[in-house]
Amino acid sequence: MKAIRKYLVFGASLALALGIGFAMQSTTAPNHPAFVLRALEADDPEVRLAAAQTAREADLMRSINARPVTPVAAEVDAGGETRSTLPVVELPADFLKQDAPAAAGAPVSDDPAILARADPTVTVACARSITLLAQPAALLQLTVDAPCDADARVVIRHAGLAITERFSSAGILDVLLPAFSDIAEVSVVFIDGKTLDARTMVPDIELYDRVAVQWQSPDSFQLHAFEFGAEFDSPGHVSAASPRDPGFALRATGGFLLLLGDSSVTWPLLAEVYTFPSARVPRSGTVTIEIEAMVTPEVCGREILGETIEIHAGTSVVVRELTVSMPGCEAEGQFIVLKNALEDLTVAAN
């Protein structure tokens, strides 16, 4: 039997008008990421450096992300609208098939010697390289080879999105990212402060609506999409418990959720991103978007911070701050429900 979800009015301060409910639910999510309270005072100098870097990122991220994001090559028309001046890219006939090949994209460098010459402080054996490829469903395949960064924390940035990941023991990072721009620019920031940048075109981004919520642990949010009147825990409810895969969008049968970021690193930056193929589904209706915040011992009785990100049919990305006042610790295990933090998606049959 499904739990009855009761909503009571509860206060919150947000960067946009919200309808907010307090959901009575007693379950607590497993594996909630631990918060390193004294990371800046740790004995390990690498931990201190990571904590200091992320603290700076937390201070700067909101001011940086608040700036309007425009295409790399753009012009402003008489009405003040910014438009891309890049040529229109036609999709290959098989691009939207589930087994379609990746769109073309080139690594910044294949040759470690070239990278080493570009930065004399890097030995050939420790040279870093990055490759960014466009994939179907307006996704990005990011691959970073950094043989001397085994198990290291790294920050990935793209169009307002910021997440942390960890290199493998071999110094390899392979991540699937959502694109938020037709010209996707991705930056990878290493523990030593150095950065690798890459960009690629995303030819199918206008076919999708995409919304996201991001935060720094121990603050935490959960994204929920209710497709065409779906109820909680029904087949049309997309969430971390039932995220689906990009094949749903490629087959135009529904949306999917990406869970981004590694919560095991120091000061983790995490995100959830929902994608819906609004330009391709053969039915009309509404996809209702909600954000939840669980009351945990780490966040009870204080404000939690996050950001929302959204892009609709290839328009410019919009980033907004999200601030929620959490109830006291007696409400542990319950949820604050934010019903209008992100716009619902209105879908017309195609």
| Per-residue pLDDT band at 44 (split at 50, 70, 90) | low
State the pLDDT at residue 349. Answer: 74
As given in the structure block, the two tokens for residue 51 are 């904590």
Angle at 217 between CA 215 and CA 255, to 5 degrees: 45
Residue 223 pLDDT exceeds 60 = yes
Q: What is the dihedral of CA 322, 163, 151, 52, to 10 degrees?
A: -50
The phi, psi pair for 328, rounded to 5°, reads -70, 170
- Higher pLDDT, residue 51 or 123: 123
Neighbours of 182 (CB within 10 A): 20
67-102 confidence digits (pLDDT tens): 333 333 333 334 433 333 323 333 344 433 333 333
- Higher pLDDT, residue 43 or 271: 271
State the pLDDT at residue 75. Answer: 33
The phi, psi pair for 113, rounded to 5°, reads -65, -35
State the pLDDT at residue 102. Answer: 36
Residue ranges of domains in the chain, CATH in brackets: 7-28+36-64+205-347 (2.60.60), 103-201 (2.60.40.10)
Residue from 312, 311, 315, 320 nearest 347 by CA: 312
- Higher pLDDT, residue 286 or 69: 286
Coil, strand or helix: which one is 207? helix
| Per-residue pLDDT band at 348 (split at 50, 70, 90) | confident
| Per-residue pLDDT band at 121 (split at 50, 70, 90) | low
As given in the structure block, the two tokens for residue 316 are 């410019």
140-160 confidence digits (pLDDT tens): 999 999 999 999 999 999 999
State the pLDDT at residue 339. Answer: 81
Query: In this structure, are residues 108 and 129 in contact, taking their beta carbons and an 8 Å threshold?
Result: yes
Across the chain, mean pLDDT equals: 74
SS3 readout for 37-99: CCHHHCCCHHHHHHHHHHHHHHHHHHHHHCCCCCCCCEEECCCCCEEECCCCCCCCCCCCCCC
State the pLDDT at residue 244. Answer: 94
- Higher pLDDT, residue 174 or 5: 174
Q: How many CA atoms lie within 13 A of 193 on its CB side?
A: 5
Read off the pTM: 0.69
